[in-house]
Amino acid sequence: MSGESLVDLIAELPSGAVVCDLDVVGGYRSDMASLVPAGQPIAVVRPTTTEEVSRTLAWASRTGTVVIPRGAGTGLSGGANARDGCIVLSLERMSAIRRVDPRNHTVVVEAGVVNAEVTRAVGEFGLFYPPDPGSFEVSTIGGNLATNAGGMRCVKYGVTRQSVLGLEVVLADGRVLCAGGQTMKNVAGLDLTQLMIGSEGALGVITSATLRVRPQPAATATFVASFDTLAQGSEALEGIFASQVTPSVLEILDRHTINAVEDHQRMDLDRDAALLVIGQTDGPEAGAEIERLVGACEVAGASVAVSTTDPAEAHLFMQARRLAGWVVMEAGPTVIEDVAVPRTRVGELLAHVDTISREVGIPIATVGHAGDGNLHPMLRLPDHSGESRRLGLDAADRICAAAISLDGTITGEHGIGELKREHLHHQLDTVSLDVQSAIKAALDPSGILNPGRGF
């Protein structure tokens, strides 16, 4: 370790880039994973340029200081929680949209740009950015890239990695890596772009990205269907999967979630429904395709199944889904799980979650991206006590085990973080874990980047 101290880093960076005030630092200690403890950082560093990030990591490498990269702090796995004695590296001030190229359908943005701002920036050219996590109005592109975030449109357009052409990444020693490029096809060397996506800040700090945007669809149609039983809802999903229609959105809300939304805001949802299915189609055949999906719901015994091509009505349908996670969290202590299974096994996973809820004694409100098999069971804890924490962890363990038993994964889009590290060896074999450790050791030999997270 060198003889340098935090004073040397403060001297290297512009005034105000390094914050040591405890009141300010306290706001950067954790993300939204309530079951993961947070340590006390010695400072928060808020760079505005890639060069400042490079200087910070070079200093951290020389001094052996742990660095916790951070976006907007909307993560749900503890991946951005501070460690004692670390610095938190917040990319929030790197918020420039560097270039919009409407003819090539690309946009270059810095890591601190909020997800929704990308679509707003390209919207005037008739384009949009497909990945839309539930936190799209507040989460940043850097955080989305670090966890390979998804959202409601994944079923048709893919998760974040399907919309990334290139990255600028600062490595642990301060060197700047430019991976990928501006082209749709690129097989020059190993695909380091895809390696960095989903690596949770453990291999490098992403400072900017070249993103692929797409033309706005010519038309959109939306449907909503209610079901009295989970079995009927599961049968409807099976019918949709067999319909040869690829919806742009296919979402579900269970009874607990429906009632949480209605408690928050009257939307005239059926409080007695076991499952609510919401879907969209887009493109020139949107209207005809949505009727095929409605038909699949009616065959399965939907108590209500309606569709619309009116944007205002569609917004109301989708608003219920957009609100779901936030209103459940606002109602009390909540742990939001994130598991995925092959989409034809969503019904089985819903049944497992219902059983786990009854056996553990915790209400579990489940929402999910049914179109790609990714569910978010939300554990509604009675309080913040140690016993509630134990019950929550027990339920989370069982949900992860159920997902793996159904050929699934312990995380679809939230990442491993710290919350799920102990589950990783249940899904991945020793060869996979050894290879990941070797990559980490090669890129971060001192282990200063987000240690104990991800893999």
CATH number at residue 107: 3.30.465.10
**375 domain residue, yes or no:** no
pLDDT digits (tens), the chain, 455 positions: 477 899 999 999 999 999 999 999 999 999 998 788 899 999 999 999 999 999 999 999 999 999 999 999 999 999 999 999 999 999 999 999 999 999 999 999 999 999 999 999 999 999 999 999 989 999 999 999 999 999 999 999 999 999 999 999 999 999 999 999 999 999 999 999 999 999 999 999 999 999 999 999 999 999 999 999 999 999 999 999 999 999 999 999 999 999 999 999 999 999 999 999 999 999 999 999 999 999 999 999 999 999 999 999 999 889 989 899 889 988 888 999 999 999 999 999 999 999 999 999 999 999 999 999 999 999 999 998 999 989 999 999 999 999 999 999 999 999 999 989 989 999 999 999 999 999 999 999 999 999 998 77
Entry field: residues in the chain: 455
Whether 104 and 210 map to the same domain: the answer is: yes
Whether 107 and 206 map to the same domain: the answer is: yes
Q: Which residues contact 440 (CB under 8 A, 6 or more apart)?
A: 202, 203, 447, 455
**229 domain residue, yes or no:** yes
Whether 223 and 246 map to the same domain: the answer is: yes
**CATH code: domain of residue 239:** 3.30.70.2190
**169 domain residue, yes or no:** yes
Element (H, E) at 354: helix 346-360
Q: The whole model's pTM is what?
A: 0.94
Residue pair 124/82 in contact (Cβ under 8 Å)? The answer is: no
Last residue of some domain: 215, 232, 267? 215
Distances (CA, A) of 436 to 197, 303, 428, 432, 433: 14, 49, 11, 6, 5
**305 domain residue, yes or no:** yes
Whether 317 and 226 map to the same domain: the answer is: yes
Domain that holds residue 224: 218-322
Whether 114 and 165 map to the same domain: the answer is: yes
Last residue of some domain: 322, 345, 361? 322
Last residue of some domain: 297, 322, 347? 322
One-letter identity of residue 350: L
**101 domain residue, yes or no:** yes
Instruction: Compute the CA torsion angle 178, 438, 77, 248 (nearest 10 deg).
Output: 60
Query: How far apart, in whole angstroms, are the C-alpha atoms of residue 42 and residue 1?
Result: 17
Nearest to 142, CA basis, from 206, 89, 191, 196:
206
Whether 190 and 279 map to the same domain: the answer is: no
Nearest to 171, CA basis, from 56, 13, 82, 14:
56
